[in-house]
Structure 1
Amino acid sequence: MGAYHGPSSLTPGARGLREPSGRRLGEEAVATAELIVVPAVAVDRRGVRLGRGGGSYDRALARVAEDVLTVALLHDGELIDAVPDEPHDRRVRAVITPSGGLVMLPA
């Protein structure tokens, strides 16, 4: 993770996504964030997030305080009733969908 200094500071990253080009802040920097936005395949109404199975986001979310707003970006229809969860899974506090906007989930 690097510091964001506006659109001109972004360059293509290893996975084709644009990312900050400056000094890397290290894995622990996520713990200082006030807002965390994560991708998801689906999220249930308890905030359990289904990803792609690598666990990277769960490991990052484990370093974030519980009062930090964590939001998953979803397509319509991906906020569902139940997602299987495991002990290492970290819940999100809200989702954003195109038609529903920001939806806060129970803490």
Structure 2
Amino acid sequence: MDKVKLRRELLAARASLSPERRRANATFIRETLLDQPWVQMAGLVACYWSTGTEPETHGLVLALWKHGATVILPVHREDDDLDWAVYDGPDTLAPGRSGIMEPVDTRRGVAAIRTAALVIVPALAVDRTTGVRLGRGGGSYDRALARVGPNVPTVALLHDGELVEGIPAEPHDQAVRWAATPEGLVRLPAAPE
């Protein structure tokens, strides 16, 4: 399976989803995650601010923050790595270098993700047999995930039909331990017992 072709097909499928379906997906995913004790107990959560047709995270970030978690969001660096800064409410975001909303708080450094008790990442798809995620191709999240400890839950948010088999893996690709879809939460082979 060619990654470029797969990305194109997945982006086209996402574009065909109605706004109502995307909102419903976001609600199901948010509620499923918030029902998990390991999500409720996470004091520091690394997440992302969704854009376009990604599964929407704005409500999830706000809910985690309102429930007392410290939420850090990525700040895209010039070298395509991810720095991290604390989210302190919707008024503390501004457009970043790629137009995606980022926190205006002090940058915590690329290693800040090491201290997260839960890491939520974007993905276009995840391989159900290996946990390898297919991103946009820049490698930013693979670098960030490589810094996460082996027992920290890493969760990719997906729309229906994006948990697939046969995603080609390259040496730098990092597996996630969970996939959250509108149908529920799926534990992947990379998840510790």
Q: Same fold (TM over 0.5)?
A: yes
Question: 2:161 maps to which residue?
Answer: 77
* Matched AA of 1:51: G
Question: 1:6 maps to which residue?
Answer: 89
Deviation of the 1:13 alpha carbon: 2.1
Question: 2:143 maps to which residue?
Answer: 59
Q: Secondary structure at the match of 1:2?
A: strand
Give the count of matched residue pairs: 106
Q: Deviations over 1:16-45 (max 9, x none)?
A: 222211101111101111111111111011
| Fraction of identical pairs, as percent | 62
Deviation of the 1:66 alpha carbon: 1.1
Q: Secondary structure at the match of 1:86?
A: coil
Deviation of the 1:12 alpha carbon: 2.3
- Structure 1 spans left out of the alignment, 5+ residues: none
- Distance in 2 (alpha carbons) for counterparts of 1:57 and 1:76: 21
Deviation of the 1:10 alpha carbon: 1.9
- Distance in 2 (alpha carbons) for counterparts of 1:102 and 1:5: 27
Higher strand share: 1
Moved over 6 A (4+): none
- Higher relative contact order (CA closer than 8 Å, sequence separation 6+): 1
Corresponding position: 1:42 with 2:125: yes
- Distance in 2 (alpha carbons) for counterparts of 1:17 and 1:86: 27
What TM-score results when the alignment is normalised by the length of structure 2?
0.52
- Structure 2 spans left out of the alignment, 5+ residues: 1-83
Which structure would you say has the larger Rg? 2
What TM-score results when the alignment is normalised by the length of structure 1?
0.89
Corresponding position: 1:24 with 2:107: yes
Deviation of the 1:91 alpha carbon: 0.4
- Distance in 2 (alpha carbons) for counterparts of 1:101 and 1:17: 27
Deviation of the 1:61 alpha carbon: 0.6
* Matched AA of 2:179: V
